[in-house]
Amino acid sequence: MLRRFRALGIGAAAARPTLALPQHAITSVSIAPQRGMAEARGPRNEFEQEELPPGWEWDDISPLAHSELERHREARHYARIAAYEMPRLARNAAPSHRPGCPIMLAKPFVPPTKAQPLRFRYTTYMGEDHPAESKVVLEFDPRDLGLTRLEQSKLIKLVGVRYHPGKKIVKMSCEMFEHQAQNKRYLSDLVDKLISEAKNMKDTFKDIPHDFRHVKFRPLIARRQVRSFPLEWVDQALQREHERAAKTGRPLAEWVDSATEELQERKRKIAERATAAIDRRAGGLLRRQASCS
């Protein structure tokens, strides 16, 4: 075929197919540098400059795209954990030190020691932006801080409503800062200041009584169902509540009405069961007498 083209006077270069472009398809293009591209091409409309963030020079992706990338990074992080770390978990398996054997990551639960009295709680929303994601909650028992009774009493008075006398726990939280590590550091420093102030015996706060009015104590009869208590206990609790209301002039508690109704229902069922038992015994006695006769 090439000889035939040569015989016809056509070169090999002419034998290759070419793309014929019209003259108007080739235009001059001015390429602006990447930095300062907004100034080179100008705004598309009159509102474009207002929509762009300050300092935007078209040299980076938008903040929305950055948040999307961060979400993808966190999703891939958990995907890597599920793919590579979780298969290595094994219950009741001791670590294997033989070469070629995977190291088991399962560890028995070890309760915190006396050197670890602080308990921090974090919250994550799995890649979703949430205003409460940076919140850190701290809980500790004043008895675990190595303080004397007088120092513990002063610390409890200092924390105020953050202390629960029933649980013996001080609970504090912080979400002032953007990151969890900053909020945790703030709470840790705050505990150090409280301990330092509690150990300062210049003012022991002995003349200030404990104020636990922020905790609403309810009687046990109000927290559990009436049928879980003996009838005598319920009668005594209702009688004491009526005496308190008559003495102080305050209205009865909210649980009194429901407890009274349930108590009457229990008494009615007990009476019905007793009557049914008597009827069964009487019927059995009559049947025995009839069979004997």
Same domain assignment for residues 120 and 261: no
Same domain assignment for residues 149 and 232: no
Same domain assignment for residues 233 and 207: no
Interatomic CA distance for residues 24 and 73, integer angstroms: 47
What is the tally of structural domains in the chain?
A: 2
Domain that holds residue 169: 63-80+115-215
Burial of residue 35, with CB atoms counted within 10 A of its CB: 0-12 exposed, 13-18 middle, 19 or more buried: exposed
Same domain assignment for residues 124 and 165: yes
Is the pLDDT reported for residue 183 higher than 90? yes
34 vs 66, higher pLDDT = 66
Condensed to tens digits (0 to 9), the pLDDT of residues 101-124 reads 555 666 778 888 888 999 999 998
Instruction: Please check whether residue 51 lies inside any domain of the structure.
Output: no
Same domain assignment for residues 162 and 200: yes
Instruction: Please check whether residue 43 lies inside any domain of the structure.
Output: no
Question: Which range, 81-90, 92-101, 208-217, 234-243, has the best average confidence (pLDDT)?
Answer: 208-217
Of 158, 183, 215, the residue at which a domain comes to its end is: 215
Same domain assignment for residues 168 and 255: no
Of 181, 215, 249, the residue at which a domain comes to its end is: 215
Residue type, 151: E
Percent of the chain predicted with pLDDT > 70: 67
- β 119-121/136-140 pair status: antiparallel
Same domain assignment for residues 123 and 265: no
Same domain assignment for residues 229 and 258: yes
CA proximity to 234, closest of 269, 188, 265, 211: 265
Instruction: Please check whether residue 1 lies inside any domain of the structure.
Output: no
Residue with the two structure tokens 């639960």: 109
Same domain assignment for residues 149 and 73: yes
**SS3 readout for the chain:** CHHHHHHCCCCHHHHCCCCCCCHHHCCCCCCCCCCCHHHHHCCCCCCHHHHCCCCCCCCCCCHHHHHHHHHHHHHHHHHHHHHHHHHHCCCCCCCCCCCCCCCCCCCCCCCCCCCCCCEEECCCCCCCCCCCCCCEEEEECHHHHCCCHHHHHHHHHHHHHHEECCCCEEEEEECCCCCHHHHHHHHHHHHHHHHHHHCCCCCCCCCCCCCCCCCCCCCHHHHCCHHHCCHHHHHHHHHHHHHHHHHHCCCCCCHHHHHHHHHHHHHHHHHHHHHHHHHHHHHHHHHHHHHHC
Does the predicted TM-score (pTM) go above 0.85? no
Same domain assignment for residues 76 and 184: yes
Same domain assignment for residues 136 and 248: no
pLDDT at 234: 73
Average pLDDT in the chain: 75
Is the pLDDT reported for residue 176 higher than 90? yes
Is the pLDDT reported for residue 48 higher than 90? no
CATH number, position 128? 3.30.160.20
Band of the pLDDT at 2, cuts 50, 70, 90? Answer: very low
Same domain assignment for residues 195 and 262: no
Instruction: Please check whether residue 108 lies inside any domain of the structure.
Output: no
Interatomic CA distance for residues 190 and 167, integer angstroms: 21
